[in-house]
Amino acid sequence: MRLWHLFAVLFFCCLSFSFAKDQNRPLAPGRRRRGKKMVRQGKKPTNSGYNGSSLFTESYKGVQEPRPNYNVLPGNSGQCVFKGITMFDKTVWSPKPCVTCLCANGEVACSELQCPLLQCQLKFQPIGECCPVCIDPDVSENSGDSPIPNDPSYGTVPHVHTGTDESLRRDKLRQEEERIREKDAERKRRKKQKKEAERLKKQMEEEERRRLQEEEEERAAAVEMRKRMGEHRRQEEERVKKMEMVQREMLRAFEEAAERAQRGLREEEEDGEEEENDTVFLRGDVFQMPSYQPTPESLPPLSAPPPESQGPSQEEEEEEEGVYDEEGKGVKEDDEESQRITYALPQGCTISDVIVSCENAKLTSIPALSIPELKSLNLQGNAITTIPGGAFNGIPNLEWIDLGKNKLLSSGIDPQAFRNLKFLTRLYLDGNLLEAVPRGLPHTLQELKINENNLQEIEENSFEGLRTLVILEMEGNLLNEGSVNPKAFAPLSDLTYLRLGRNLFRTIPQGLPPTLQELHLENNIIEEISEGAFNQTQNLNVVVLRHNNIDETRIAPLAWIDHRNLESIDISHNKLHLVPSFLPKSLVHLGLVGNKIERIPGYVFAHMEPGLEYLYLSFNKLDGEGVEPESFFGALNTMTELCLDHNQLTSIPYGINEMTSLHFLRLNNNNIRHIGEDNICDPLNDEDSHLVALRLENNLIDARKIPPAAFSCVRSYSSVVLKPQRNK
């Protein structure tokens, strides 16, 4: 019996020693001692835990708790030191969100919370919580408020309801009806746009057909005109040959008459007969011959008809012209041919109908012509320096004179030179040495060109009396805003077209006529557009400001925004860094090629009515961030032609797939790598294809990775240019 007691005592001692050894053994990661409670994240002990029996608030019940995974850190026995802070045994703390640490026998065990896998479609992570929770999709969709998590227990799927199921169903039905109505309205709108596009297409085709027909008629008229001119030239050559033959006959007749006269004089001297007159008449007093030997210089000009008193008889005319019948008798020519009048022209000049051309004929003065029915005179490319007062007296019905590329000086033009030309409508003086606008121009003038001269000043009375002038060109001179009198254009009450390019203007010239519709100021040094630059020109339709020094900060906000007729502006090759704001409301065509534009601001086209149709932004510096989602707002339904080539774009810009009227799109020579299925074409748009041409060459696109439906809105795949692409 004692032996059994002794054995029992030894067994109890062994068990006690084994238990004490287990108490000092470190905790394995992810395990807890039996009988010890761990607090969850965010819970603190109710007392300081000095007696080792800390009390913790009871966690949520019925919620599956994720198993912590503790990482044991070395520490002192009994107490723990964590980041310089001493913790008592059994102390629990959270050094950072979703991490819980425990001090156990001088060792620190930390566990990061593992979130459970949720089996739901919509998840939400509340503020301050570590794990997401499930939400009811019906509630979040209909209420419009932020989802509110349910019980903070982990692993549960809360459902938040803000009303009864019946109200939710009614809301969903109402939303569905609204969506259907919106879809029907959108379908009707697209159908209307489609009909309008078809109408415009038919109209364009009709205009194209009419244009082709007009071009064909013009070509036929040109061919007919060339044929007539060729026939006229042939007749002229025949007439010249005929006149040469007549001249030879006349010379021969003169020589024979002179010989006979000398022979008669010798016979008279021998016979001793004296005569009062030394004249001898030949063949029935046809020609009255002088008593001396004639020379070619003394002969009458071919253009002058013989005097009536000395005209040849009918038989002599027939004999000289060599027209005979079968019996050898003379035959009369047609009355029309016999009455044809010929004119003497300087060498190098030609006449065709009512047009005389002396182009590049090496003339040094205005030729003396006497052709009353003449309408056009071309004297281009000569060395004419002066125009005397009666230069055009013999051709008073002129309508067009071209004196370009001569050496005319302002002092060499007589003020009365053009006074008698009552029908002159076009006068070209390009390429001369004029320093001022000629005086005394006729009041009937409609077109005046003084390009490429040395004009230095436009005075107040330079255009006095030119009320009917419609077109005025003064490009390539030395004009500036200070040398043009603000009242100079006042007499031009019908002027609609003005060209002042290639001068020295720094600002828009003042005093432009109210009737002006088209203004060209390219190749100047214009730096700003002031607020009152176009105040008097409310009829302006086209403004060209290419190759100047304009930047967006020097364009006044009210310079042209209220113009209702200004449809085309070209500010290409300037110093713009942004697409200018405050553009005209009526703008249709905008040229911005060759600037330094890096960004298209949002809503910059939103105020335009009906909307921008042509936008040219080639050769700028647009990159991936330069085009905003709202950049093309206001032009999505009107944009017809968009050029973004030769930029630095890395992707297809926003809004292109929403342009329902786009026909031409240029994106070549950029850095585009990827084309999505809906970047260019809207897959939800069931309208007919509208893109006519699409250029994407010289980018970084891999054609094998392009989705099949990427170009579904292009009328023909042959219109898509993808090759070549640059090496990546």
Supply 85's token pair: 């802070």
The confidence score (pLDDT) of residue 140 equals 42
Lowest mean pLDDT among 167-171, 345-349, 389-393, 546-550: 167-171
| End-to-end Cα spacing for the chain | 96
Q: Is 70 a residue whose pLDDT tops 50? A: no
Return the amino acid letter for 357.
S
Report the half-sphere exposure of 210 (CA within 13 A, side-chain side): 6
Matching residue, tokens 């994407």: 696
DSSP E strand stretches across 95-188 = 99-104, 107-112, 123-124, 133-134
pLDDT in tens, 614-635: 999 999 999 989 999 999 999 9
Quote the mean pLDDT of the chain.
Answer: 78
Question: 347-454 domain in CATH 3.30.465.10?
Answer: no
Matching residue, tokens 């004179």: 401
Q: Is 412 a residue whose pLDDT tops 90? A: yes
Domains of the chain, residue spans: 2-112, 189-311, 347-454
Average pLDDT over residues 148-172: 55
Q: In whole angstroms, give the CA distance from residue 615 to residue 654.
A: 15
pLDDT greater at residue 483 or residue 57: 483
Q: Which of 515, 413, 405 is nearest to 469 (CA)?
A: 515
pLDDT greater at residue 384 or residue 65: 384
Query: Hey, is 206 helix, strand or coil?
Result: helix
Confidence of residue 218 (pLDDT cuts 50, 70, 90): confident
Q: Is 402 a residue whose pLDDT tops 90? A: yes
Q: Is 154 a residue whose pLDDT tops 50? A: no
Q: Is 94 a residue whose pLDDT tops 90? A: no
Average pLDDT over residues 113-142: 68
The confidence score (pLDDT) of residue 102 equals 86
Report the half-sphere exposure of 262 (CA within 13 A, side-chain side): 8
Q: In whole angstroms, give the CA distance from residue 175 to residue 178.
A: 5
Average pLDDT over residues 67-82: 58
Return the amino acid letter for 395.
I
What is the distance of C-alpha 662 from the center of its chain? 14
The confidence score (pLDDT) of residue 285 equals 34
Average pLDDT over residues 272-294: 37
Return the amino acid letter for 76.
N
Other C-beta atoms closer than 10 Å to the C-beta of 435 total 15
The confidence score (pLDDT) of residue 437 equals 95
Asked if residue 393 lies in contact with residue 420, where contact means CB atoms within 8 angstroms, the answer is: yes
pLDDT in tens, 679-688: 999 888 777 7
Asked if residue 379 lies in contact with residue 358, where contact means CB atoms within 8 angstroms, the answer is: yes
Maximum Cα–Cα distance for the chain, whole Å? 213
pLDDT in tens, 444-494: 999 999 999 999 999 999 999 999 999 999 999 999 999 999 999 999 999
Q: In whole angstroms, give the CA distance from residue 427 to residue 439.
A: 13
Supply 460's token pair: 């107040």
Q: What is the pTM of this model?
A: 0.56
The confidence score (pLDDT) of residue 297 equals 36
pLDDT in tens, 579-618: 999 999 999 999 999 999 999 999 999 999 999 999 999 9
Phi, psi angle pair for 67, to nearest 5°: -80, 125
pLDDT greater at residue 25 or residue 658: 658
Matching residue, tokens 């019906």: 138
Q: In whole angstroms, give the CA distance from residue 196 to residue 690.
A: 13
Q: In whole angstroms, give the CA distance from residue 358 to residue 381.
A: 9
Asked if residue 509 lies in contact with residue 498, where contact means CB atoms within 8 angstroms, the answer is: no
Supply 215's token pair: 């071009």
The confidence score (pLDDT) of residue 229 equals 75
Average pLDDT over residues 222-251: 74
Average pLDDT over residues 357-369: 92
Question: Strand 92-93 vs strand 376-378: parallel, antiparallel, or unpaired?
Answer: unpaired
The CA radius of gyration of the chain, in Å to the nearest whole number, is: 51
Confidence of residue 210 (pLDDT cuts 50, 70, 90): confident
pLDDT in tens, 284-335: 333 333 333 333 333 333 333 333 333 444 434 333 333 333 334 444 444 4
Confidence of residue 426 (pLDDT cuts 50, 70, 90): very high
The confidence score (pLDDT) of residue 269 equals 58
The confidence score (pLDDT) of residue 496 equals 96
